Structure 1
Amino acid sequence: MQLIPKVAAVLLLSVLCLPAAAQKIKLVDGDPAVLKDQKELNVEFTYDHLSVGKDSEEDYVQKKTAEYNKKEPGKGDTWAKAWVADRASRYEPKFDELFNDNGDIKAGSFPNAKYTLIFHTTFIEPGFNVGVARKNSYIDAEVLIVETANKGKTLAKISVDNAPGRMMGFDFDTGMRITESYAVAGKKLAKFLGK
């Protein structure tokens, strides 16, 4: 009986002590200085060709939906709807909120702004929390700064790698962990563009 709590404690400590990959934001091409003196920045989010863990998004959603439906009929269908709905209801608003809290330019839905930031999520690691063990979420993205009136004209391209969703405690909900990844990405990107 004494062995189980000790094993659980060792597992928990080993997961918590894993080195976390640091987020990297890097200018790939162009010059984001065009944003200097701008008051508003239109932000759009895209999710085309998204990979989730080791799968394509389509395969991941099919697998998780079937897994949850097997445990409880309808649960997987509800989860699949939330997987998509969380983008507009959780991830994107949190990104904008933290971007605005940490930068000099107001980001959000501003279709009349001179420039648009396109945040294209390319990878999501949803992580997990099963009580005695957990893994943080993280996202990778490609960021384009374009002219709003001519979105084919890219003025700057930035890579965002390993934006972590580090939460301690009761983050059993996948969406909660991923929301934190978008919050971190928004905060760090605002600081990067403000340099």
Structure 2
Amino acid sequence: MKKLVLSVLFVSSMMTAQRMDVVKGNFDFLKDQKEINVQFDYSELTLMKENKSEATYVEERTNELNEKHKNVGDIWAKKWEASKELSWNPKFLELVNVVLSKKDVDVSFQEGLTAAPYTLIVKSVWIYPGWDVMMMKQPAKVTTLLTFVETGNPTNVLAEITSKDAPGDQWGNNFSNETRIGEGYAKTGKSLAQRLLKSVYR
């Protein structure tokens, strides 16, 4: 029985596999850059298998939690919105920079670097929050579109990458949807850095 439970845990934690594909351009323009501006875009985010708009998802989840416990849903809605600035964006930036710095690559990806020649737009396309119920779990999934543009002329797209189903999970139990999603953004940043190490910083 113990072996069966462990097998279920292993399978459920491995069901998600990230796919990252370059769909346009190349990364030659990055070779001599020391700073890359980063912008995060959640304007067209959808969630769940039904592809709900973010507004619909937040409203439904807020009402669901409020029905169980008064005001809990309203508190959650504030935490959801705050997670973007306090967790998801920082985790992406942290991992892309840590992976590159460990290979002695002297470049920094940060928000607010408006003087930098190039900008990376991290557009959130789809999120599945996953779940964790004691002995079984399903990782979060984060799908993004990563677009490099000229900062002064953002219509000039230099390179574009699709990152599909980046898994978000941690060892042990993690009952917070927002934390699992944050790990998906961390995985996205890590995978992007690894792709750049192969393509640019060899």
What TM-score do the two structures reach when normalised by structure 2? Answer: 0.87
Q: What is the distance in 2 between the residues matched to 1:188 and 1:111? A: 24
Question: 2:27 — aligned with what?
Answer: 32
Q: What is the distance in 2 between the residues matched to 1:75 and 1:12? A: 34
Q: What is the distance in 2 between the residues matched to 1:17 and 1:165? A: 15
Question: 2:108 — aligned with what?
Answer: 106
Question: 2:133 — aligned with what?
Answer: 130
**Which among 152, 167, 176 is matched to residue 170 of structure 2?**
167
Question: 1:17 — aligned with what?
Answer: 11
> Is residue 187 of structure 2 the alignment partner of residue 192 of structure 1?
no
User: In structure 2, the residue corresponding to 1:17 is in which secondary structure?
Assistant: helix
Question: 1:62 — aligned with what?
Answer: 59
User: In structure 2, the residue corresponding to 1:123 is in which secondary structure?
Assistant: strand
**Which among 124, 127, 140 is matched to residue 121 of structure 1?**
124
The answer to whether the 8 Å contact 1:100/1:107 transfers is yes
Report the alpha carbon displacement of residue 11 of structure 1 after superposing the two structures with TM.
6.1
Q: Name the CA shift for 1:56/1:10 in 2 (closer, same or farther; >3 Å).
A: farther
**Which among 140, 143, 147 is matched to residue 144 of structure 1?**
147
Report the alpha carbon displacement of residue 40 of structure 1 after superposing the two structures with TM.
0.7
**Which among 41, 65, 70 is matched to residue 73 of structure 1?**
70
Q: More deviation in 150-159 or 17-26?
A: 17-26
Q: Which runs of 5+ in 2 are unaligned?
A: none
Q: What is the distance in 2 between the residues matched to 1:84 and 1:63? A: 15
Q: Name the CA shift for 1:170/1:143 in 2 (closer, same or farther; >3 Å).
A: same
- Cα RMSD (Å): 1.7
Aligned length: 189
